[in-house]
Structure 1
Amino acid sequence: MKRTRFFHTIQVKLIIIYVLLILIAMQLIGVYFISTTKNSLTRSFSDNLNDQVNMLTVLVEDTLTSERAEAGEAADAEVAEDLGNLVSSLFNISQAEIQVLDASGRVLATSEPDRRDIIGRKNTTLAVSRALQGIRDNEEEIIDADNVRKKVIARPAFDTSRGQSRVIGVVYVVASMEDLYATMRGINRIFVTGMLIALGLTGVLGVLLAHTITNPIKGLTRQATAVAEGRFDEQVPVYGDDEIGRLSEAFNYMTGRLQEALSANEEEKEKLASILANMSDGVVAADENGQVIVTNRRAREMLGVKHALGKPMDELLGIPKDQLHKLQTGVEHSTIVVRPLPDDGGEWLMHVTLTPIYRRDRTISGAIAVLHDVTEQEQLERSRREFVANVSHELRTPLTTIKSYVEALDDGALEEPELAKRFVGVIRGESNRMIRLVNDLLHLSRLDSNQERLRPIEVNVREMLEEVSDRFSFQMKQKGIGGSVLIEDGIETAWFDRDQIDQVLDNLMSNAIKYTQDGGHIEIAARKPTPDTVSISVKDNGMGIPEKDQARIFERFYRVDKARSRNMGGTGLGLSIAREIIKAHGGTIELESELNRGTTVTFTLPLRRGGDAE
């Protein structure tokens, strides 16, 4: 069953929808509330600041229009002092920087004690310039170098004492709005905290609410999965008499009826499956379209596939469609199909018998193919034919030679002593060759039938290998072949049939000498691959064996170069006999070769009789 991802479940969707609704509602409320609060605080701040500026403007007008402002330098100093007291008092209330300017824009007083140096200088800001022109509405918000938002107001002071209205100064106020925005940030934090708490509570309530809806649905889903998997013993819990409760009751009723219907069907299927599974032959059934609908385990093994359902029968069996049609219609009854084994392990021969499946109206609804493995039978028959052919060929050649030379002697060669002697020598050689062949065949026959008794004795490995080297030393000297015997430390004695192992070594040495060029080298070595075994190898640097022939080199009568092997006196049975002798001792033999580089034949035997450890 496909698993539902977490964020695709109904429960999560309900929770998300519920939380989103609350979030949107709170966002709308929050935006309205914060915006209204900000506007109210800003308006209150501006109104308060304007009231103070208006009050200061009236006081400044009175001070600047008084008689002291016209009485010379001493009066100017007194006016400046009075203005300084005014702005200092207002600063303590408003937390603002206040400057009083004269009609030329020159600073007369400032509320900042550490900025007394600006007194006497001109303030050239745009707001001041507008105020000096008599414009009353000069308000703006700025952000200073310290990233602090400030409110700027420049209010002109008029002289109306002489029946005329002229600008005699300016009140310039720069008030920080940091406290206002700090208050707004605090309100925002309170609102966000409240919103998060509300969302958390909403999420918990959403989980509880969604659980009451999705829990019955999950029960139905589990039961549907169980039914699909063939488990009918579970029941969906019924939580109430609502729509979901009635659905659960109907589902439980359907499960019971379905179980009854499937039980009868399963019994029939089990009978058929048991029959098919225990058949020694493969069975493949296809529908009327040729698509496979049933196979048994044996058929899949023979066809080398894991899954065959839905595949065309002709492709699965490897039978052409026209021939498959003949088999289905009864024109042909059976055929032989050749299937390659995996890893180039040879061929698998199957005898395929096809029978059509008829409906009640006698129309064909499909076909059943029965596959019978005849590989071993065919291999035995092929081996028998090859063996008879090989033995006949090996015997016919010397017999033909003997007959030819006997006829030559009978025709008069017997009267010539030298010629007769040479002919008799050839006849003797061919006779000995036939005797060796017959002896090898008898030896193989005894090994195959376990009639060749082994007589294991304790053998000194070094002594045995040195004797083998000595036996062939004369032949090696004739071809100028060097030899060496290598014995690994720790190898002293081993239990085996000395005569049989000598025969194996003689055969391997004979082959090495035959196929090693003059001036080559042959090495006999003994090693201990494990504490309980000994490996003996014969290695040459001769012509080697092609890779394609190495897999068959131990077969009977198999020769890489048949003509040359026969001329060298070989029967083609030496390596086969060697393999059977080693198998009889419970060992293994293997060959490694590279063309024109040499060949190494290694056989491994137990050190002790019966494989006992030292």
Structure 2
Amino acid sequence: MWRSVVGKLWLTIIGLVSVVLIVLVLLLIQFLDQFFENENERSLTTLSQELAQMIEDSGSGQSLQTRRHVIEMAEELLPAYNTQMVVLTAEGNGASYDYFTTAQEESLGPIEQLLKRSDLKEVFEGKEKKVRGTLDVEVEGGGETEETPPFEGDVLAVAEPIRSEGDVIGAIVLYQSLSQLEHTTNRTKELVFYAALIGIFLTTFFAFFLSSRVTQPLLKMKQAANEMAEGNFDIRVPARTHDEIGELAGTFNRMGAQLEESIHALSQEKEQLSSVLKSMTDAVITVNADGHVIITNPPADHLLEVWSESGEDQRQLNYQPLPKPLVDSFNQVVETEQEYATDLFVHGRTWAVVMTPLYNRDQVRGAVAVLRDVTEERRMDKLRKDFVANVSHELRTPLAMLQGYSEALVDDIAQSPEDRKELATIIHDETLRMGRLVKELLDLARMESGSIPFKPREVVVQDLGHRIIRKFHSYATENGVHLEAAFPEQPLYGWLDEDGMEQVLTNLIDNAIRHTPENGTVTLEMDKSSDGGVVIRVRDTGTGIPVQDLPFIFERFYKADKARTRGGSGTGLGLSIAKHIVEEHGGNISVESKEGKGTVFTIRLPDRNGEE
């Protein structure tokens, strides 16, 4: 309690009031002591002066005996004032004196001690003498004094000279004990002390009441602040007064409202950022200054799981370490404090990484990395570059031949008609080759863009096969190749685009004949697959395809060793076009080959429901 505001405020008020009351009590007691003493001394002095004047006026001559009746009258009145009286008579001009009084003999002992005071003789010189406190009594022969109180307590005595015709004929001594005065003073002190205690008690009560009234709104604001710290920003503090505390409560409520709006805005922004991160296809990883992953989106979670060397889910750990492929990029960003971009090759994939530093004032507190799988983009870019290079190469050769032979014709280098015909034939063949190249390029581009509509329908596959056999029969015979067909007797129905599939088989049969030596065999097989689809195979006994070339034969402009090809080589686009057409049918095309034994191309087409 003493550490609280109520306790501190209460102790402060009590301390201040207590100090003030103690000082006031001490001053009041000192004032009362002085006041009672001065008042008692003044009263006794006035009384002595009046009695002395009354005695002087009551008779004449140098003797006090003529005034005795007045003195006796005064002695009868003095007990009412708690005062006693002694009348002194002067002898020998004050060298010695005597006294007489009507007081009892047993009470005169202390008076005699009082009268023995040497300074009392000064009253016979006409001086008013006042004596208070403990009396000094002379001891005869030694001149030493000892302190002996004549009564119980101190005594106050006033000696007033009595004059007659200008001479001092005696003195009146009024004296009284100060015990009554001390008793009155002590009683007054007790009353003052009790009043001070009552004042402190009341001050304690009102101080506690006041401090509670002051601190109650503060305690409510403290409770509201604790609730705000726990996330309850709807809490408000009632402002019941219009003083500073009421204004503080109003300010606190406004702060709470603004804080609630700010937190709501931050929450919305956080939700928006979270939604953006979750909807991004790119992986986003936020790293702190220690290189630990602190924020990720779903693609990044999957990426971290794949890149994890241990194979365990890193999200179960207290922190996720940065994958090793990103460590060098993170160190580069931290050292240079600049954005860093690079490509990473991890697990056979290409990742474009852009890492940007995050700042806390002027210091780098981490980095955010955006990773995108650009494997396909890089492959397409490479294909584009290779395509341009291959097209340039494929067109440069026939163009050079066209230019050379046409110049020969123009310059009349060929003299005979046979030579000119031969040159014209070569120019014609190269023109046809360029036309085929351009046509196949346009077909491939249109297929990739979806511009060529495929119109599949149910056809008898054997009819398509017989048509292909008839088309290439003469060409195979000219090259000494046996062209055979292996079809089932029952009609085999397939759901396909007849023109597109004829183009595929034409490319495959043409390649098979060109790569098969004389007396070799090219076979076109058709059959029904186990799942209801169609399987078409083009089998030859040709030179075969090297193992290192098999993964690339369906790419554009890829050609096997030209030495293995009879006659002119193709454009390198036939198999790429065939693959596109087959995939448009929902099927697939594969190849098996052994050098010196032959090659088998297999086409698998799904049934009408689209299942292979």
Using structure 2 for the length normalisation, give the TM-score: 0.49
Structure with higher Rg: it is 2
